[in-house]
Structure 1
């Protein structure tokens, strides 16, 4: 295969991804320097698919379940935020196929059951969310996307009647100790940002309507659970690396520029940490953006239903998200 074609095609594909890259807020390194680091890590991995004329495989741990906080989301099932994100991911693969015929495929590694007890969402709610994600993929004709979850792992599938056992096996088989993870997180600013962001998610999610305790108690609890969430997230990542060793690893969180994982946005948002399952889609000045439900309501957003189910917000005349 022509070496010029390989290099040009590899670079085009990486550029497609780089347009949507999530960056750590406040990072002092210039965008150009960061991009050079990303290129050094990712280009050889993409190139190996092109050299072998193979379909490019991506894995994306994502779409776990909706946040339990009604200030952030509309409900417990996928809505316009997930719909638009899945359309984006499928169209990303379609664009790649326009100049690389073998195309691309994204394996959505739904991780809701990995964290259920730590994010205070029951496994039945997560099952329903996952079923609706698969229904949405079918409805959209998203042929470039597939779903893989904890119950699909060989050797674990027979235990889907006991997700607590599945989580225990995952941690025992693929996780480092929480103490070792805390030590890693404290080594650099980006590790601290990740820990703080996960703590913030958990703290916000636990601020349920009707809660009468102290915010200090919620904050302490969120800090304790955050390390467990990161432990299991890395364990899930280790499992996926074993199952899909050659795949390009995408993430819904910002990642260091020299990481094997690359964070990507699936919808426009001003928050580098916000995800479709922690927010709502709001149509603002003709464009959909991602924001928290309470922010959409503060902009006098009108809740729109599709086929009787809450879908998104319509915000008229607003100047900013």
Structure 2
């Protein structure tokens, strides 16, 4: 095969795992709008005989809402996603020996002041992701965060975010104008508002739902602005990379949404969900929904890891391999939490 044929095959493999339903008339693997948007970056790597590089902003930190997740550290949900992404890279290596490398651009530090998560919690999450990646070496995945940006050494976390805003940020008024105009910007704003509102229902919250919703709307604009600033920094540091996203993207966009598990979980991510094991593998579900369904919690290395879907004929005392199964843990669901 020549470089053009190899590049097309690589892109078809990746697009096969696109997140979200394609638009009418779009066959993601051969779409005349989707393929040309990403083929040049793949082709350039193939012609140079180097691994195809992809960047994926995500893996920030766990949601602070205990109705969604098991705790603050990565668990089996993140492991499932990392294994899936590493498997995708291995599929590419089967048709192109130099393979594909995927850089996870962990953005928890970028958003921590906007999503109500302490920087120390973000640090612990990132450190555990790095340990997970180290246990999987040699692996085609790596982690990059704002902490790794040259010149940030010795800066406070607030100073890092200010530098990001000042160098790559957009005017808030411009973003508000885009949202008011409707379309994709409005869809993103509404989705972020919903997520921020859900994550506001943390233990001990005393404000009313309407007050939390107003705050979520305000913070959503900040998240959009910071996300674009982070995207600008990532693009500058990885100029030849294929750009991926955890969110579904419109046909022909400069980046495209990629699934994190074999199942298309829509907007669910490992940091807003738990992993649930069944006969067909793992799926992502919200913790509260999983516990109501009677799934059993698995602990590994002394920490909650994931759930096992309850089976009608399995006695309560049964075990699953070397892992200890525990009954559903008590969870008080915050009012209005999804």
TM over 0.5: yes
CA distance in 2, matches of 1:183, 1:22: 28
> 1:197·1:273 contact (CA, 8 Å) conserved in 2?
no
Mean Cα displacement is larger for which, 133-142 or 72-81?
133-142
Is 1:264 aligned to residue 262 of structure 2? no
**What residue in structure 1 maps to residue 6 of structure 2?**
9
**What residue in structure 1 maps to residue 168 of structure 2?**
174
CA distance in 1, matches of 2:114, 2:294: 33
- Of the three residues 5, 18, 40, the one matched with 2:15 is 18
CA distance in 2, matches of 1:293, 1:246: 38
RMSD, matched Cα: 1.8
Runs of 5+ unmatched residues, structure 2:
313-338
Alignment of 1:26-105 (within 5 A): 29-32=24-27, 35-105=31-101
- Of the three residues 98, 106, 109, the one matched with 2:105 is 109
CA distance in 2, matches of 1:15, 1:172: 38
Give the drift of 1:269.
4.8
Deviations 1:164-183 (A, max 9, x none): 11101100110101111222
> 2:178·2:186 contact (CA, 8 Å) conserved in 1?
no
Give the drift of 1:270.
5.5
> 1:90·1:142 contact (CA, 8 Å) conserved in 2?
no
Give the drift of 1:65.
0.5
- Of the three residues 141, 148, 155, the one matched with 1:152 is 148
Deviations 1:70-126 (A, max 9, x none): 000000000001001111111211121122111111111111100011110000010
Deviations 1:5-36 (A, max 9, x none): 22221122111211221226xx7633338933
Which protein is richer in helix relative to its size? 1
**What residue in structure 2 maps to residue 274 of structure 1?**
268
- Of the three residues 200, 206, 209, the one matched with 1:206 is 200
CA distance in 1, matches of 2:169, 2:252: 22
Secondary structure of the 1:176 match is: coil
> 1:249·1:260 contact (CA, 8 Å) conserved in 2?
yes
Alignment of 1:165-314 (within 5 A): 165-269=159-263, 271-314=265-308
Deviations 1:126-173 (A, max 9, x none): 0011000000101122521111111111122231xx101110110011
Runs of 5+ unmatched residues, structure 1:
none
Give the drift of 1:268.
4.3
Classify 1:269/1:98 alpha carbon distance in 2 versus 1 (closer, same or farther; 3 Å).
closer
Deviations 1:187-239 (A, max 9, x none): 44222221111111110000113323211111111110011011111100001
**How many residues are treated as equivalent by the alignment?**
311
Please give the TM-score of this superposition, normalised by the length of structure 2. 0.87
CA distance in 1, matches of 2:182, 2:40: 26
